[in-house]
Amino acid sequence: MPEPFCWDDQYRVDGGVIDEEHQRLFELANDVFAFEDPDSQVDEFKETVVALFDYARRHFANEEALMEKVRHPRLSQHANAHRAIVAEMTRQIKACQSLEKLAHELRCLMVDWVMRHILDEDRKITASLRRGGTAHPAPA
Maximum Cα–Cα distance across the chain: 51
At 3 the pLDDT is 67
At 136 the pLDDT is 42
- Over residues 67-110, the pLDDT tens digits come to 999 899 999 999 999 999 999 999 999 998 888 889 889 888 88
CATH annotation of 16-132 = 1.20.120.50
Q: What is the average pLDDT across 16-20? A: 93
Kindly tell me if the per-residue pLDDT of 137 is higher than 50: no
Question: CA 62 to CA 17: how far, in whole Å?
Answer: 9
Q: What is the average pLDDT across 99-124? A: 87
Of all helices (H) and strands (E), which one includes residue 59? helix 42-69
> How does the average pLDDT of the chain come out, rounded?
87
Q: What is the average pLDDT across 53-61? A: 96
CB 4 within 8 A of CB 107: yes
Report which of 130, 138, 134, 122 is spatially closest to residue 11, judged by C-alpha positions: 122
Kindly tell me if the per-residue pLDDT of 134 is higher than 60: no
The CA-based dihedral angle spanning residues 32, 5, 91, 57, taken in that order and rounded to the nearest 10 degrees: 90
- What are the domain boundaries of the chain? 16-132
